[in-house]
């Protein structure tokens, strides 16, 4: 887990505020008995995971694709090439959505905005290490113009049919 106590508190505030703003239908599904906490999410999402990642085209059309991601310091980071369609969409409009799911249990949904993280950013090396662990080589081997997209959540919901199976103890 990379998250500090402060980052976990911030993530928990986002989760709580998102639930407070959710509609009745969403609250009935993501109810208190099924919610995952920031600690549970952070403990569970270790290493590279695949998410459904959505941007909006210049015509206002939603575009979704499966991509690799890592939860790092309370934010999802997605790998892409700086010349990719998704990078161009986000330069025009930084709005994004992503969903991590395993069937219907668990489900983690993020709506927010994007920041770009290039090789000169100090977080880049730590993120690249996650790709090395997962795939045996640096992400820079795929392209010399690779970047990461940091998803800054405005809203975030996390759900499980069996939340008790997720770790909930604080880390040290």
Task: Give per-residue pLDDT as tens, 133-168.
Answer: 999 999 999 888 999 999 999 999 999 998 888 877
Q: How far apart are CA 113 and CA 135, in angstroms?
A: 27
Q: State the average pLDDT for the chain.
A: 93
Name the CATH topology of 5-161.
Pnp Oxidase; Chain A (2.30.110)
* In contact, 85 and 106? CB cutoff 8 Å: no
- 89: enclosing H helix or E strand: helix 85-92
Q: How far apart are CA 116 and CA 153, in angstroms?
A: 14
- Specify the pLDDT at position 167: 77
**pLDDT surpassing 70 at residue 169:** no
């Amino acid at each position: 887990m990379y998250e500090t106590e402060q980052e976990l508190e911030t993530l928990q505030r986002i989760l709580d505020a998102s639930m407070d703003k959710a509609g009745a239908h969403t609250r009935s599904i993501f109810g208190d008995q099924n919610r995952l906490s920031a600690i549970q999410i952070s403990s569970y999402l270790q290493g590279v995971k695949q998410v459904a990642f959505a941007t909006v085209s210049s015509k206002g059309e939603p575009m979704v694709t499966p991509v690799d991601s890592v939860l790092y310091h309370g934010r999802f980071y997605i790998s892409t090439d700086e010349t990719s369609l998704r990078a161009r969409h986000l330069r025009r409009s930084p709005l994004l959505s992503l969903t991590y799911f395993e069937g219907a249990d668990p489900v983690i949904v993020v709506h927010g905005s994007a920041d770009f993280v290039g090789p000169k950013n100090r977080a880049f090396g730590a993120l690249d290490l996650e790709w090395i662990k997962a795939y045996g080589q640096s992400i820079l081997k795929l392209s010399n113009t690779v970047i990461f997209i940091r998803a800054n959540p405005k809203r975030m919901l996390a759900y499980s049919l069996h939340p008790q199976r997720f770790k909930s103890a604080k880390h040290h």
